[in-house]
Structure 1
Amino acid sequence: MGAILSQRGEDNRLHPVAYMSKSFSGAEANYDTHDKELLAIIKALEEWRIFLEATDKPIQVFTDHRNLEYWMQARTFNRRHARWRIFLSDFNFEIHYRPGKQSGKPDALSRRSDYVDAPVDPEVMLPSEVFANTSEAELEIVTEIRNRLREDPSLEPIIQFLTEDADNAPPSIRKAYWDYDWEEDLLWYCGKLVVPDSEPLKERLLREFHNSPLAGHPGQQRTLELISRSYWWPGMKSSAKEWVECCPTCQANQRAHAPAIALKPLEVPPFPFHTISYDFITGFPKSNGYDAVLVVIDSFSKFGHFIPTTKKVTAKGLADLFITHVWKLHRLPIKTVSDRGTTFTGKFLRALYQRLGIKPAFSSAYHPESDGQTERVNQFIEFYLRSYVTADHSDWATWLPLAEYAYNNARHSATGKTPFELVYGRNPVMSPSNVPANVPEADHVADTLAQEWKEAEAALRMTKEKMAGLKGTTPEYSIGEKVWLDGKNVELRTNSNKLDPRRLGPFEILERISNHAYRLKLPETLKIHDVFYVGLLSKVHENPSQPFQNDLPLKQ
């Protein structure tokens, strides 16, 4: 392909400013003639973007392919064309047809004799130091995916179709592979990077999007949602389910699900930070001078702020925390919900509410579950910190910002969206990636955010209507089976039991005493009776890739 950038001079003649000549890559060489001609325009605009972007007067583009004059008016196009249209939207241009006989200069550039069908030696354009902010782990994963793609026999016909037989394939094959693309020697499905059938590669991705501090050991659905933002493979849902189910950290730090009870839901607010609820988590050991956490949750988007503080904070100190961390970012809430603790109902706060025009809406004394959303977030915070703190629990305050990030980046079951998405209009990037991303126009972002608010409000109302009680069942276990033991009645050698694991083990079942009691094989250091009520036991999920580490500091 070849192109010339020209500018009209005072003599009213076009004078060349720059020349461009490129060869088509392996996949590009298989494009049809129409797409090759359009790609030449794309490459020329990319090459001279600094001169051509956002011009007042239209750029005049001359081509010897007549159909391109009408391409921007087309109503049907594929995914590649959609990406190109987004790129071209940054330029003010007009396409004009010029017969090949009148296009000798660019035609000559596109027929250079040194463009032979042979591999090109790689050339270092910029030193590696320029990319110091790029995630090495992410680039390694993408490189490994690229290297293993052709080793997966199930992907071979798709890759062959995209790189060799696209023009000659029958309509049925074209339809079957319509959602696939081949770019940068990578296979894409619906805009997501296809992961080949390699268990080590899948496990590496699962560790990054579940076990890492930025992910925060989310549940099955949230782990799947995080991975599926950028990657795809057949059976990904089952892979995420098994990985989370067998995660030793998740099993140790979460109690078995108890039967649910009916909740008294709050009224659905009309927009983010109209209504907020807040609560304290106390009982932490000292960390950077803090021993408590103030939790503030927006009732609409579920966006949360986790603020380190002390359990002896005064009413004035509490007001300062709100102003510093919440009000300066999100405006004044119309309504607030608390648990009617003495700190929240102090005289200073009541005067502050009145001065700022905030209407307190405290939970009913006989229905404390009306403030249940902060209680559920409290459980998440404690679980997150248990998963990452050191053995003496002294560094929990340093993990609190990451806990807040992980919570706000996870999809909430009540809204179907992440708090980040509902407040800011998009999800944050967990780590730098070479996955293509386009920045939509401001109007489109505003329209999308307004629509997401409507969807979230509808989802909240549906969740409120469907709240109902659930019934539990009595589990049964076999001799030799391993189970978790609820750790609420077992003391450990730690500074605080607030961040101790919720479940201990796994321990082997030695004997079934009755339908409701089992004898366990306990370590010698655990000086307690070895028969336990069945309600304190829960099932163990094992995976060879995720070994257990039973090294708890038990008291003698």
Structure 2
Amino acid sequence: MADEDIEKTAFRTHEGHYEFLVMPFGLTNAPATFQALMNAIFKPFLRRFVLVFFYDILVYSRNEKEHVLHLEMVLKVLRQHELYANQKKCQFAQEKIEYLGHVISGEGVAVDPEKIKAICDWPRPTNVKEIRGFLGLTGYYRRFVRNYGTIAAPLTQLLKKGGFSWTEEATQAFDRLKSAMVSLPVLALPDFNKQFEIEADASGYGVGAVLVQDKRPLAYFSHTLALRDRGRPVYERELMAIVLAVQRWQPYLLIGKFRVKTDQKALKFLLDQRIIQPQYQKWIAKLLGYSFEVDYKPGVENRAADALSQKPEEVQLFGLSIPITVDLDVIKREVSQDSKYKEIVRQLEQGEELQVDSYSLQKGLLMYKNRLVIVQQSSLKPVILETFHNSAVGGHSGFLRTYKRIAAELYWKGMKAEIKKHCEECLTCQRNKTMALSPAGLLVPLEIPQVIWSEISMDFVEGLPKSNGYEVILVVVDRLSKYGHFLPLKHPFTAKLVAELFVKEVVRLHGFPLSIVSDRDKVFLSQFWTELFRLSGTKLNKSTAYHPQSDGQTEVVNRGVETYLRCFCNEKPKEWIKWLPWTEYWYNTTYQRSIGMTPFQVVYGRQPPTIVSYGSSPSKNSTVEEMLQERDIVLVSLREHLRLAQEQMKSYADRKRRDVEFSVGEFVLLRIRPYRQITVRSRRNEKLAPRFFGPYEIIEKIGPVAYRLQLPENSRIHPVFHVSQLRKLVGQYENIQPTIQFVDENYTWKSEPEEVVEYRKTGAEQWEVLVSWKELPKHEASWESYEEMKEKFPTLHLEDKVNLKGGSNDRPLIKQVYSRRKNRLC
């Protein structure tokens, strides 16, 4: 101690007043002072063969001869500075040593098991201070953990001011971090005579990298991106991953040339590119002074650095459990308390003959056919079932695979039935697995109409190339005569335009029908379409949600139309409009097996379009009377052919169907095909999207094969579904998070306009506005009449966008037009 500082260390005891003459530990700057001393005296040797942390001196050498020489030099320096090593605390010539929480050996660097035990025993944090302590301990070993930043992100969020709110996501992160610490790898030691490699990757949530040498990892690195960085282009995020990794491992990379591997192909030419964007120049500047090459490595091969996988912003249910080791002491205690097994154990210990020869004792444990015996009421059975079925090892396998996996190691009476019940009641399996069964619900054909053109069906044929401005065909088919009209349409079209075409080409010839069968296209669901046919007395029958087979007739006609045009227009597809009249003529004059004649013969062969029964209006003219009688014979024959065709169709269809019925009050899961989920929460990967949603309660039976479900209040899809879309819920569950958006009290689609995107003036000098709808994607925007929108939605501020009536000079240029064929604004 310096003479002027000795008095500052004074302390008093019952024996008197004392002062330190040498520096003790405990003073504020004592650790830093002592570390500075050690660094000063060992400066020539540091990182050559000596590492020092306070009084822990690590001497490392390549062979025994060098090691002895290095020890002599270190001990000599200590003696020169009057520092003395305690022989009892020294270890010499070690092949493996614990140092600063690590185990260092010839194989590499591993983590001290005692530190891992402390992490595994860490209780769940209850405040920010405890979270900070847990993250501090685990963060010390983050270079051993792949994706550490992503795993710990939910816990890191809790460190924000006022942000402590322990959630299920935090619990999962806490458990995942513990599990990751249990299986940490052994990192290789660097060899500076060999080349280093960096495998870098980036995702929408973070960047990650691996430092590799001879295909062995030296260290892992991950960094969670801030919100402002997540929106950067992919190129910039991949470049950011490389720069951050190079900065992190600078001491290893400055020595010589190294390689960088990335799955961003454009970065392969990083050193040859002319960088113009300022933000890219900023990152490139940080790589100056390094010698490296960039190799392209596809993401499939770049698995080590494909670290930060796409974490969903919202998860419906987490279907992964952490495997748990079975406690043998608990099993032994439970077996000793069971009267049956207790007697068997006694007989085995005393060598008595057993009635069942398959039992044996191994290390004090009761075995049955070399499988560990568990009592039927064991407290460990739920844990075992969760581990062998729900864990990453179990993989949510089916009953047989799960049973075989458990039966290979364990045995209890009635295990097969319990395993089967657990697999059937697993909600994750019910939601995500397809049913290997024939479609549910027997075929229920629509009722045969009494009069031609009284009941029709209609649909659109989309995706055609533009021909004279036309891109869509409206297919209208009479359900009795099978007569069809194929009407061309231009994009974009509205419900009003379709209705005008329908009146002009169909109603003009055949009058208003009594009913129309259609799918759930937005045109057919619009208020204009619904109100028009309500006033005309026409009933609109729409297919059940996600079940287009309800309008199977028009779907079949659509395929026929497409096939005909494909045959005659394949060389000049843009001339299909010229062939459309011939398509209609061909279809209407072609024999239909279901009616036993051609549609043209039914409609035009004997009578004008509106055909009535002969018995309702007899004629005095014998010739007319004979024609009417022949006409009635045709109608009777027609209906009989349709009846026989329906019976045959139903017989064929029911061979591959199951008769399934549900009761009101039952809970079911709902299947919605991902590509039809326009009104359901969008998913990043449709291939991996759940197959079923729910469960939902059945509140009404609609006919033999359709049911109305009690969907969540925020649902926006039609609540009536065909039985083939439903799956009976097995087991009982509570607090299941709803996943489908709003449906109103009347169970009808109610889309509300959000804003006016664009405007235009039609050829008829009528103003139309392009309206985007709430909670629907941009490509669902539709052109609507300005007058109708103003009348139906008076609160929608149309004038905020354009002054349609006044012809304002400030109107913006038209920048976007909605294309139904391209399904987007363009």
TM-score by length of 1: 0.35
TM-score by length of 2: 0.23
Higher relative contact order (CA 8 A, sep 6+): 1
Which structure has the larger Rg? 2
